């Protein structure tokens, strides 16, 4: 039988000492004619053994493993659908285990809309190959040819009706074989589970008060800790008499290590009170280090940069030329639940339950911080509040680990306070783009120049120096030097290269190493601002050409799937060349293919602008999306709806504020976001399904198009072009009055 | 030591009188649904019902709750026997990360208790104090409308059974 095994990841990854059995698969897939050296699909390329992804127990229980973390995107349900479909079992027959350094493959971060593409593809192919292995084994036992055998509800069925269940067929190490590059995938026309709107597996607990989040964990003998963070970046703790705090009711311990300060108590509110007392006792030396918030354009563009250029034919140029500069403020992930983790140090082993997006890289960083071997540190992903990128998750995991080390044997739960999340999370970087283009006599774009100034968009762990606790310790770790994320996906230059066909396109990425504010990955990275810029500028150029916005985009786009989503969104919106909105309203349109290689998304919107107050409200949005083969259509719709709503909030309201020393946007009053009074009347999402096509990540594809679509609608409503994000009420009012 | 009535049960609570209700629910009574979001009464993720009204439990001290009835999401129903509002949120798949959802549901429940047939504008106005970051607002609105219909149907069939 295939007993539950804890995989030895190193052995599996190195292939050392493992028996590689692939003859049965080679035979099964011989007709595919796959070259032996072909790359395995999705994350099978890096974790190639089938039993890294699927386990079948003798009693027929099936477990699917993913190294990705469920963040509220719903992919846990989608993976369950994929495995059930390809294994020919009921949806309920599969149990999905998510990111855990002891149980699942190392799939890096859950980011960049890669989950379906990497992990979904791995599970898809692994499940299909496991099914073939089971059929081959049944054929051997029954003395029949594989061709006549079918699978049904967890069993292989012979033409004469004999059935052998998967549990009976599976044997020790049977799935411990390397995947083949090609799989016999089921015909999408026969799908019973994939492609259907299956209710999410996590929602019942979330709507009934079940234990659904790391915040809800209660381990025996657990204590509660709170951290006292410095008041500003680089502040030094000069004095802290904690003797009075230590005598407060319930206080178990005050932990101090350099500038790292925390207090532990039996009960949670005791910890909060003690944190307040400790904060009052702590004296810090601060130094002003922050740039001027009201001059971000010059601050960003005058920092030293490393430039990279992507150029085509520079000799072409047109007749009418326009230029524009667009900016984006620093923005917050703004998770509703402040980050939280539970850590438990027993013997010489540390276990951390965390909502990190990368259990393996975060383990690496925490192990380095604790100066422990990574093998002695286990990170287990448990859901937290939605993160939308690199928020405080990794930092609070490090906080919990550092505190737990000082309290061996006691599980320690740490949750950040609201003002800590707002002040200390790594923000989405401020950005500047400068565009110049000219039109030829036919109203086509003849040359296109695009320059973007940006920090990196990832300061994620891997190194201890990325963690606040490690930075603040007495024997602290330095922040590692930032690196630009390479194209084609890119970071600051994500989606900087236009998908449109221009005779001459010249794109420069000014990568800025200096980071005056703490920054990292936020949903869509540079694509949010770059698509906002490109798609706003396309409208400016369409206006110059006297062309309709949709027609002007199609004029410059050859990509057939891109054209399809543009046409679909326009048609479903009722977009026409001569459309006339009501007074005070405007229509806007925008399109992008995320990263130029993931999902396609086009959004048409109608916005109302109050000319007296400058208040803009999105009334309706119609989106069309193509993310390849769709697994859970309702899950995809939910993602796109959410992307439009969140991007609308970023675009209309959101900006991190700071003085010369401190972050001053530290709660929902000082960092306002979307509330129900601004919620649209309706949002419609239309999916163009592509059965049999690869999964294309869709979690971030809506961010850029939503922003530009709204900006274009505001320009249409007011006759004024706003180029600085966020497009606040004041900026709109000032533009109207100018 | 004071007595606190939660979801119909009397509980003896040993906590300082200034302890916010949220911490009593989560820490003393081991209830999960009410969530810490801001501790400032700005986000609504801690919303519970006290004597029929939506209350922000993160800024409501224990001392104010003597003799009052506290209801949390756990008190409405279970996965196997969900209340109409819970069924509605499941049927509309009205969650992404879901962290804000318990608070949304309790505020909506309080509205439906006093106004069984709210207009869309009334629902939006009622939910104004509650923040959602995933952008699930459209589904939340649909779920509250659905809950109103489900409660109406449940009332109608209950009335039929009792011969009214």
Percent of chain A whose predicted confidence (pLDDT) is above 90: 91
Mean pLDDT of the A691-695 span: 97
**Token pair belonging to A502:** 């221009």
Spatial distance between the Cα atoms of A373 and A218, rounded to a whole number of angstroms: 27
Q: How far is CA A712 from CA A306, A533, B86, in A?
A: 32, 11, 39
Residue A22 has pLDDT above 60, yes or no: no
Percent of chain B whose predicted confidence (pLDDT) is above 90: 91
pLDDT at A314: 66
pLDDT at A19: 29
Phi first, then psi: what are they for A564, rounded to 5°?
-60, -45
Which residue of B32, B133, B137 is in closest CB contact with A334?
B133
A347 and A372 belong to one structural domain:
yes
Q: How far is CA A213 from CA A198, A477, A535, A681, in A?
A: 22, 30, 38, 31
> Tens digit of pLDDT for each residue in A625-643?
999 999 999 999 999 999 9
List, in sequence order, every residue forming a beta bridge with A324; answer none if it has no partner: A435
CATH number at residue B9: 3.10.20.30
Range of the domain at B133: 84-161
Query: How far away is chain B from the Cα of A572, in angstroms, using its nearest Cα?
Result: 19
Query: How far away is chain B from the Cα of A214, in angstroms, using its nearest Cα?
Result: 11
Helix/strand number for chain A, H first, E second: 20, 25
Set of chain A residues whose Cβ sits within 8 Å of the Cβ of B35: 213, 215, 336-337, 385
A669 and A558 belong to one structural domain:
yes
Mean pLDDT of the A293-300 span: 91
B47 and B89 belong to one structural domain:
no
Residue A35 has pLDDT above 70, yes or no: no
**Following DSSP, what letter does each residue of A312-371 receive, concatenated?**
--TT---SEEEEEEEEE--B----SSPPEEEEEEETTEEEEEE--S-HHHHHHHHHHHHT
Set of chain A residues whose Cβ sits within 8 Å of the Cβ of B26: 268
A44 and A83 belong to one structural domain:
yes
Does the distance separating the beta carbons of B137 and A679 come in below 8 Å? yes
**Token pair belonging to A588:** 């806007």
Question: DSSP assignment, residue A674?
Answer: -
pLDDT at B154: 78
Q: Which of B75, B102, B117 is the last residue of a domain?
A: B75
Rg (CA), chain B: 16
The set of residues, in sequence order, having a beta carbon less than 8 Å from that of A572 and lying 6+ positions away, is A604, A622, A624, A684, A686
Residue A572 has pLDDT above 90, yes or no: yes
CATH number at residue B100: 1.10.150.120
Please, which pLDDT band fits residue B153 given cuts at 50, 70 and 90?
A: confident
Residue A312 has pLDDT above 90, yes or no: no
> Tens digit of pLDDT for each residue in A327-355?
999 999 999 999 999 999 999 999 999 99
A681 and A620 belong to one structural domain:
yes
> Tens digit of pLDDT for each residue in A173-190?
999 999 999 999 999 999
Q: Reduced to 3 states, what is the DSSP secondary structure of residue A514?
A: coil
A546 and A669 belong to one structural domain:
yes
How does strand A377-381 pair with strand B47-50?
unpaired
Nearest residue of B to residue A212, measured between CA atoms: B32
Residue A14 has pLDDT above 50, yes or no: no
Residue B8: count other Cβ atoms within 10 Å of its Cβ. Answer: 9
Phi first, then psi: what are they for A251, rounded to 5°?
-70, 130
Residue A386 included in any domain: yes
Query: How far away is chain B from the Cα of A700, in angstroms, using its nearest Cα?
Result: 12
Residue A617 has pLDDT above 50, yes or no: yes
Nearest residue of B to residue A72, measured between CA atoms: B97
How does strand A504-511 pair with strand A306-311?
antiparallel
Does the distance separating the beta carbons of B125 and A676 come in below 8 Å? yes
A657 and A721 belong to one structural domain:
yes
Spatial distance between the Cα atoms of A179 and A194, rounded to a whole number of angstroms: 22
Nearest residue of B to residue A421, measured between CA atoms: B38
pLDDT at A3: 36
Number of domains chain B is built from: 2
Residue A37 has pLDDT above 70, yes or no: no
A442 and A403 belong to one structural domain:
no
Q: Which of B57, B75, B93 is the last residue of a domain?
A: B75
Residue A18 has pLDDT above 70, yes or no: no
Cis amide prior to A83 (ω within 30 degrees): no
Mean pLDDT of the B102-127 span: 98
A121 and A234 belong to one structural domain:
no
B63 and B104 belong to one structural domain:
no
Phi first, then psi: what are they for A77, rounded to 5°?
-70, -40
Ramachandran sector of residue A74 (left: φ over 0; alpha: ψ -120 to 50; beta: rest): left
Which residue of A73, A418, A674 is in closest CB contact with B39?
A418
B44 and B64 belong to one structural domain:
yes
Spatial distance between the Cα atoms of A471 and A468, rounded to a whole number of angstroms: 5
Does the distance separating the beta carbons of B128 and A676 come in below 8 Å? yes
Q: Which of B51, B75, B99 is the last residue of a domain?
A: B75
A508 and A543 belong to one structural domain:
yes
Does the distance separating the beta carbons of B132 and A336 come in below 8 Å? yes
Name the nearest CA neighbour of A248 among A280, A274, A215, A220: A274
A587 and A690 belong to one structural domain:
yes
Range of the domain at A104: 17-193
pLDDT at A2: 37
Residue with tokens 């774009």: A445
**Partner A, chain B 120-149, Cβ-Cβ below 8 Å:** 124-125, 127-128, 130-139, 141
> Tens digit of pLDDT for each residue in A405-448?
999 999 999 999 999 999 999 999 999 999 999 999 999 999 99
pLDDT at A54: 98
B39 and B57 belong to one structural domain:
yes
Query: How far away is chain B from the Cα of A224, in angstroms, using its nearest Cα?
Result: 10
Does the distance separating the beta carbons of B72 and A72 come in below 8 Å? no
Spatial distance between the Cα atoms of A671 and A654, rounded to a whole number of angstroms: 7
B113 and B155 belong to one structural domain:
yes
**Partner A, chain B 33-92, Cβ-Cβ below 8 Å:** 33, 35-40, 42-43, 45, 72-74, 77-79, 82, 86, 89-90
B56 and B105 belong to one structural domain:
no
Interface probe for A, chosen from B99, B120, B123, B141 (most Cβ of A below 10 Å), is B99
**Token pair belonging to A174:** 């049977």
Spatial distance between the Cα atoms of A505 and A311, rounded to a whole number of angstroms: 6
Q: What is the pTM of this model?
A: 0.94
Helix A633-653 crosses helix A527-545 at what angle (to 10 degrees)? 80
Query: How far away is chain B from the Cα of A172, in angstroms, using its nearest Cα?
Result: 37
Please, which pLDDT band fits residue A172 given cuts at 50, 70 and 90?
A: confident
Set of chain B residues whose Cβ sits within 8 Å of the Cβ of A646: 133-135
Q: Reduced to 3 states, what is the DSSP secondary structure of residue A636?
A: helix
Query: How far away is chain B from the Cα of A353, in angstroms, using its nearest Cα?
Result: 17
**Number of Cβ pairs closer than 8 Å across A and B?**
179
The set of residues, in sequence order, having a beta carbon less than 8 Å from that of A421 and lying 6+ positions away, is A335, A338, A339, A391, A392
pLDDT at B155: 76
Spatial distance between the Cα atoms of A303 and A314, rounded to a whole number of angstroms: 27
Query: How far away is chain B from the Cα of A273, in angstroms, using its nearest Cα?
Result: 10
Residue A11 has pLDDT above 70, yes or no: no
> Tens digit of pLDDT for each residue in A523-556?
999 999 999 999 999 999 999 999 999 999 999 9
A396 and A448 belong to one structural domain:
no
Query: How far away is chain B from the Cα of A432, in angstroms, using its nearest Cα?
Result: 25
**Token pair belonging to A42:** 């999705």
Residue A200 has pLDDT above 90, yes or no: yes
Show the CA angle centred on residue A288, arms to residues A283 and A292, nearest 5°: 145
> Tens digit of pLDDT for each residue in B56-84?
999 999 999 999 999 999 999 999 999 99
Does the distance separating the beta carbons of A73 and B90 come in below 8 Å? no
Phi first, then psi: what are they for A310, rounded to 5°?
-125, 115
> Tens digit of pLDDT for each residue in A639-664?
999 999 999 999 999 999 999 999 99
- In A429-511, alpha helices (H): 468-472
Nearest residue of B to residue A222, measured between CA atoms: B27
Residue A265 included in any domain: yes
B69 and B91 belong to one structural domain:
no
Set of chain B residues whose Cβ sits within 8 Å of the Cβ of A667: 38, 40, 42
Set of chain B residues whose Cβ sits within 8 Å of the Cβ of A638: 93, 96, 136, 139
Mean pLDDT of the A57-71 span: 95
Element (H, E) at A545: helix A527-545
B31 and B92 belong to one structural domain:
no
Please, which pLDDT band fits residue A24 given cuts at 50, 70 and 90?
A: very low
Residue A52 has pLDDT above 90, yes or no: yes
Set of chain A residues whose Cβ sits within 8 Å of the Cβ of B145: none
Query: What is the four-CA torsion angle of A203, A209, A215, A219, rounded to 10 degrees?
Result: -120
pLDDT at B157: 73
The set of residues, in sequence order, having a beta carbon less than 8 Å from that of A733 and lying 6+ positions away, is A613, A614
Q: Reduced to 3 states, what is the DSSP secondary structure of residue A65?
A: strand
A180 and A226 belong to one structural domain:
no
Which residue of A206, A267, A338 is in closest CB contact with B98?
A206
Number of domains chain A is built from: 3
CATH number at residue A130: 3.30.365.10
Residue A157 has pLDDT above 80, yes or no: yes
pLDDT at A27: 38
Interface probe for A, chosen from B17, B18, B32, B122 (most Cβ of A below 10 Å), is B32
Question: DSSP assignment, residue A678?
Answer: G
CB A330 within 8 A of CB A337: no
Cis amide prior to A726 (ω within 30 degrees): yes
Spatial distance between the Cα atoms of A456 and A468, rounded to a whole number of angstroms: 18
Phi first, then psi: what are they for A265, rounded to 5°?
-140, 165
Say what the ipTM of the complex is: 0.96
pLDDT at B159: 67
Mean pLDDT of the A126-138 span: 97
Residue A503 has pLDDT above 90, yes or no: no
């Amino acid at each position: 039988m295939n007993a539950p095994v804890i995989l030895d990841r190193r052995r599996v990854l190195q292939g050392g000492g493992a028996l590689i059995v692939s003859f049965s698969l080679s035979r099964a897939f011989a007709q595919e004619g796959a070259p032996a050296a072909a790359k395995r699909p999705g994350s099978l390329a890096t974790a190639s053994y089938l039993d890294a992804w699927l386990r079948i127990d003798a009693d027929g229980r099936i477990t699917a493993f993913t190294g990705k973390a469920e963040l509220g995107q719903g992919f846990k349900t989608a993976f369950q659908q994929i495995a059930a479909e390809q294994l020919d079992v009921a949806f309920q027959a599969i149990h999905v285990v998510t990111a855990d350094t002891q149980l699942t493959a190392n799939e890096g971060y859950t980011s960049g809309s890669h989950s379906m593409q990497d992990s979904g593809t791995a599970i898809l192919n692994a499940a299909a190959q496991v099914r073939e292995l089971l059929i081959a084994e049944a054929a051997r036992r029954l003395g029949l040819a594989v061709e006549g055998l079918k699978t049904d509800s967890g069993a292989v069925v012979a033409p004469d009706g004999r059935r052998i269940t998967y549990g009976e067929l599976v044997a020790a190490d049977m799935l411990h074989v390397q995947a083949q590059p090609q799989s016999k995938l089921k015909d999408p026309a026969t799908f019973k589970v994939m492609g259907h709107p299956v209710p999410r597996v996590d929602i019942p607990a979330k709507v009934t008060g079940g234990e659904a989040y790391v915040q809800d964990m209660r381990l025996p003998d657990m204590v509660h800790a709170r951290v006292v963070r410095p008041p500003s970046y680089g502040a030094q703790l000069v004095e802290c008499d904690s003797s009075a705090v230590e005598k407060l009711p319930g206080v178990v311990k005050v932990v101090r290590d350099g500038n790292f300060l925390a207090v532990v108590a039996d009960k949670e509110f005791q910890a909060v009170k003690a944190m307040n007392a400790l904060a009052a006792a702590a004296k810090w030396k601060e130094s002003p280090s922050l740039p001027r918030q009201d001059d971000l354009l010059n601050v960003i563009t005058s920092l030293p940069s490393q430039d990279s250029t992507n150029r085509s034919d520079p000799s072409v140029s047109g007749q009418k030329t326009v230029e524009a500069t667009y900016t984006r403020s620093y923005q917050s992930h703004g998770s509703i639940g402040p980050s939280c983790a539970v850590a438990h140090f027993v013997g010489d082993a540390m276990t951390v339950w965390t909502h990190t997006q990368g259990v393996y890289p975060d383990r690496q960083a925490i192990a380095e911080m604790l100066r422990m071997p990574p093998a002695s540190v286990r990170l287990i992903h448990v859901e937290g509040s939605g993160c939308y990128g690199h928020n405080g998750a990794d930092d609070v995991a490090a906080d919990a680990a550092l505190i737990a080390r000082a309290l061996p044997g006691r599980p320690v739960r740490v949750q950040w306070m609201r003002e800590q999340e707002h002040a200390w999370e790594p923000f989405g970087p401020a950005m500047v783009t400068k565009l110049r283009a000219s039109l030829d006599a036919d109203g086509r774009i003849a040359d296109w120049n695009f320059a973007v100034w940006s920090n990196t968009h990832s300061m994620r762990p891997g190194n201890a120096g990325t963690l606040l606790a490690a930075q603040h310790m007495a024997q602290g770790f330095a922040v590692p030097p930032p690196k630009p994320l390479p194209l084609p996906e890119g970071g600051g230059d994500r989606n900087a290269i236009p998908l449109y066909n221009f005779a001459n396109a010249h794109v420069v990425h000014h990568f800025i190493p200096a980071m005056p504010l703490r920054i990292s990955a936020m949903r869509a990275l540079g694509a949010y601002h770059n698509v906002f810029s490109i798609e706003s500028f396309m409208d400016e150029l369409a206006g110059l050409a006297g062309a309709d916005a949709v027609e002007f985009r199609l004029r410059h786009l050859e990509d057939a799937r891109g054209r399809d989503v543009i046409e679909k969104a326009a048609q479903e919106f009722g977009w026409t060349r001569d459309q006339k909105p009501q007074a005070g309203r405007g229509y806007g349109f925008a399109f992008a293919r995320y990263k130029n290689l993931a999902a396609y998304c086009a959004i048409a919107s109608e916005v109302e602008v109050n000319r007296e107050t400058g208040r803009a409200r999105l009334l309706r949005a119609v989106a069309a999306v193509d993310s390849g083969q769709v697994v859970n259509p309702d899950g995809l719709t939910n993602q796109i709806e959410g992307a439009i709503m969140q991007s609308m909030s970023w675009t209309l309201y959101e900006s991190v504020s700071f003085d010369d020393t401190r972050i001053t946007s530290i709660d929902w009053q000082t960092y306002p976001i979307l509330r129900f009074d601004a919620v649209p009347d309706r949002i419609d999402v239309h999916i163009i399904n592509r059965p049999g096509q690869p999964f294309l990540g869709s979690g971030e594809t809506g961010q850029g198009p939503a922003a530009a679509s709204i900006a274009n609608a505001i320009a249409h409503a007011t006759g004024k072009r706003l180029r600085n994000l966020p497009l606040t009420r004041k900026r709109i009012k000032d533009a109207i009055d100018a | 030591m004071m007595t606190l009535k939660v979801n119909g049960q009397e509980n003896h609570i040993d906590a300082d009188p200034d302890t916010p209700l949220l911490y009593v629910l989560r820490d003393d009574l081991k209830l999960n649904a009410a969530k810490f979001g801001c501790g400032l009464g700005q986000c609504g993720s801690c919303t519970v019902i006290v004597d029929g009204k939506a209350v922000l439990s993160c800024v409501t001290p224990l001392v104010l709750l003597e003799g009052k009835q506290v209801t949390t999401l756990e008190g409405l129903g279970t996965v196997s026997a969900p209340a109409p509002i819970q069924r509605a949120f499941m049927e509309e798949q009205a969650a992404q990360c879901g962290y804000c959802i318990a608070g949304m549901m309790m505020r909506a429940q309080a509205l439906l208790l006093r106004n069984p047939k709210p207009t869309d504008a009334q629902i939006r106005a009622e939910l104004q104090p509650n923040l959602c970051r995933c952008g699930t607002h459209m589904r939340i609105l649909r779920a509250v409308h659905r809950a109103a219909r489900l409660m109406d149907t449940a009332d109608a069939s209950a009335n039929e059974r009792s011969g009214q």
